[in-house]
Structure 1
Amino acid sequence: MSNSYSLANCAKKRVSYFYDHDVGNFNYGPGHYMKPKRMHMVHNMVVNYGLYKKLDIVKPTRCSAFQMTRFHSDEYVNFLQTVTPDNLETLALQHGGLEQGIARFNVGEDCPVFEGLFEFCSISAGGSIGAANKLLNGEADIAINWSGGLHHAKKTEASGFCYVNDIVLGILELLRYHQRVLYVDIDVHHGDGVEEAFYTTDRVMTCSFHKFGEFFPGTGDIKDTGLGKGKRYAVNVPLRDGIDDETYKSVFQPVIQHIMDWYRPGAVVLQCGGDSLSGDRLGCFNLSMRGHASCVEFIKSFNIPMMMVGGGGYTIRNVARTWTFETGLAVGEDLTEQELPYNNYFEYYGPEFKLDVPSNNMTNHNTRDYLDRIIARIIDNLRTLPFAPSVQAQEVPKDFNPDDYIEGEDSEAEEADIRRTQRQKLESMGVL
């Protein structure tokens, strides 16, 4: 497919890579799907492949509580800052009773209170804010924060293993300079927290490719396109089980091409959730490592300042493989041409010991007719928008206020994602 918005794609990219060794030491608790250790695994391979020589490696400045309140409510941030496993019940009682208090901020089974929770959030969010600033200052063409991508977190509550929405905070930084920012999400789960944050503005277009139906978080219908000024600036691509590389590419590329040609963003944020990979513990897609990475390559080809963040991914050996490979792509290296180097987690990659995540033989339930109808509807929505790319962008005020725009263990056996939405939990408790 022709890439009408790109320039010559031969220039070497300057890539900043944000990493804090402490982030991989946190633990959500025994048996929890989310394993921050995967960040150690990625970094270990980045070092042993020699990629560090081509990266500007940055230890992020940790995000302060005040910075978090650019998006999150003061009350919620204060809760995150003060809560510990030991005082959780006491704090919850101060917010309407034990069950209601815990439900208010949606902490519990999916989003447990673990030791060092606020510090973990500070590192994740600090990386995305720092990545945005590297792009804004012209110090990088691509900025990577694999500890970010926590796209489910809401303004006043945790959700889906996510507590602080580093993506929203990073985009708010980008909006200080860029008139328009594009957010693209290839996690198997809908990027609901980011979409909700920017649902009423045309300053950010969100585009999420995800499993839709009886699947967490239960949002992301193709009919959900935004409200008010943001009408039709939310793009949802609802997909079915078993989508493979070629089928995914046949949807991803035309949708992104039309968005790029029409919306002309000044920067793009790509959430690279690894749970869309084949064999993920909570996923139901059938993407290979190369199929997943082809999305990175396609976005990179537009030569727009790009932030890459992590996200989901619960078969951690495959997440580490893929994010390492995609770090290589960012600096122009195809790592599959090299042997898997010995590293601290080498035994995780057996028995094949290769940098590869193959597709399997699962059934693809995405018919050509279904996908063509999705593409046609999305393109039709874009064509009906009044905005024209040739309109001169207005300067973004330095005192830009987000409130002006925002309303409203190591077992890797596959299991169905049975997480419930916050509304479902409250309904079961009789709160709603």
Structure 2
Amino acid sequence: MRSKDKISYFYDGDVGSVYFGPNHPMKPHRLCMTHHLVLAYDLHKKMEIYRPHKAYPVELAQFHSADYVEFLHRITPDTQHLFSNELARYNLGEDCPVFENLFEFCQIYAGGTIDAARRLNNQLFDIAINWAGGLHHAKKCEASGFCYINDLVLGILELLKYHARVLYIDIDVHHGDGVEEAFYFTDRVMTVSFHKFGDMFFPGTVVLKDIGEREGKYYAINVPLKDGIDDNSFTRLFKIIISKVVEMYQPGAIVLQCGADSLAGDRLGCFNLSIDGHAECVKIVKKFNLPLLVTGGGGYTKENVARCWTVETGVLLDTELPNGEFE
């Protein structure tokens, strides 16, 4: 049965072949694993599959500073030793290493989110999925937390061309600080981030008093959570908060970042969510029947990430996957 929603899905196999380096927790190969599962369950037959365009430098500079974009374009593993000042200025190094095809990787995942937003704007689809996107820590002039280009900000800027208000929801275990910061002074984007609270936990943003400023005051919402939160508590909180936010804010479109490092057993995470609990949040958001852009994000235990995003692709397609497959 085809879902009543029209759904587009963006994927480029090249995105899964980049390598951040030995011992780095970010493994883009998880995107290939997700895609293979999506194909194995025949989910591709129920949606339109697109290869994203590679975002042009000028598109990336809609948010990022032109000099930062230009540097990402130019730097290679072989030349990085010549640019120690710039590497420090743009925060490239340990967390955000310079690797082979780095810029192309950024172009692909950002292109997917921009394309997804454009398809929604043109009302060609109700839901658009880009599991390669969701890199929510990147700042205007610097990389942060494994994120180089903030595709979410670029996608939201695209949606703002057609919608007066956009709601951004983030269920990654880490605070969606890059997106929050980008829209901190505007009421046209409301950001809601559910994440682990604590100064010692990346990105260490003290979030309780961060509610937005000037026109954006009260349009940034943070839900700081403790280690070990389970499905019951998380989904209850999520449903109450997001239902109220949608009712009061009345967004024209929603962007949902589904970082899978909030799952139990993640290499870097500390929550206790099952795949079903994580997917329940996707179900809740889908029920609002608003144009919906869904991305990936963190997630460092590859098999769990691939299972989670496959199940959530199924949720968006109103397709339950055979029970017990993922136990």
- Partners of 2:277 and 2:154 lie apart in 1 by 29
Q: Could you give the per-residue CA deviations for residues 2-43 of structure 1, whole angstroms, max 9, x where no partner exists? A: xxxxxxxx9711110000011100000111100000010000
Secondary structure of the residue aligned to 1:206 is strand
Amino acid at match of 1:355: F
Q: Contact conserved, 1:26 with 1:115, CA < 8 A, in 2?
A: yes
Q: Contact conserved, 1:192 with 1:220, CA < 8 A, in 2?
A: no
Amino acid at match of 1:266: G
- 2:112 aligned residue: 127
- 1:226 aligned residue: 212
- Partners of 1:355 and 1:174 lie apart in 2 by 35
**Percent same amino acid among aligned pairs?**
60
- Partners of 2:147 and 2:35 lie apart in 1 by 21
- Partners of 1:264 and 1:89 lie apart in 2 by 50
Change (3 A) 1:177 1:268: same
Q: After the TM superposition, which residues 54-133 of structure 1 pair with which residues of structure 2 at under 5 Å, given as runs? A: 54-90=46-82, 92=83, 98=84, 100-133=85-118
Number of corresponding residues: 325
- Partners of 1:52 and 1:309 lie apart in 2 by 17
Amino acid at match of 1:291: G
Secondary structure of the residue aligned to 2:168 is strand
Give unpaired runs (5+ residues) of structure 2: none
Q: 1:101: how far off?
A: 2.8
Secondary structure of the residue aligned to 1:208 is strand
Q: 1:102: how far off?
A: 1.8
Q: Contact conserved, 1:220 with 1:238, CA < 8 A, in 2?
A: no
- 1:205 aligned residue: 190
| Alignment counterpart, residue 187 of structure 1, candidates 172, 184, 192 | 172
Q: Could you give the per-residue CA deviations for residues 36-88 of structure 1, whole angstroms, max 9, x where no partner exists? A: 00010000011110011001001001101010000000110000000000111
- Partners of 2:206 and 2:136 lie apart in 1 by 13
| Alignment counterpart, residue 326 of structure 2, candidates 355, 366, 376 | 355
Q: 1:221: how far off?
A: 1.6
Q: Contact conserved, 2:3 with 2:318, CA < 8 A, in 1?
A: no
Change (3 A) 1:179 1:106: same
- 1:48 aligned residue: 40
Q: 1:248: how far off?
A: 0.3
Q: 1:336: how far off?
A: 3.5
Is 1:138 aligned to residue 123 of structure 2?
yes
Q: After the TM superposition, which residues 31-430 of structure 1 pair with which residues of structure 2 at under 5 Å, given as runs? A: 31-90=23-82, 92=83, 98=84, 100-213=85-198, 214-219=200-205, 221-337=207-323, 354-356=325-327
Secondary structure of the residue aligned to 1:187 is coil
The structure having more radius of gyration, on CA atoms, is 1
- Partners of 1:334 and 1:247 lie apart in 2 by 23
Misfit runs of 4+, over 2 Å: none
- Partners of 1:142 and 1:26 lie apart in 2 by 27
Q: Contact conserved, 1:76 with 1:157, CA < 8 A, in 2?
A: yes
Secondary structure of the residue aligned to 1:53 is helix
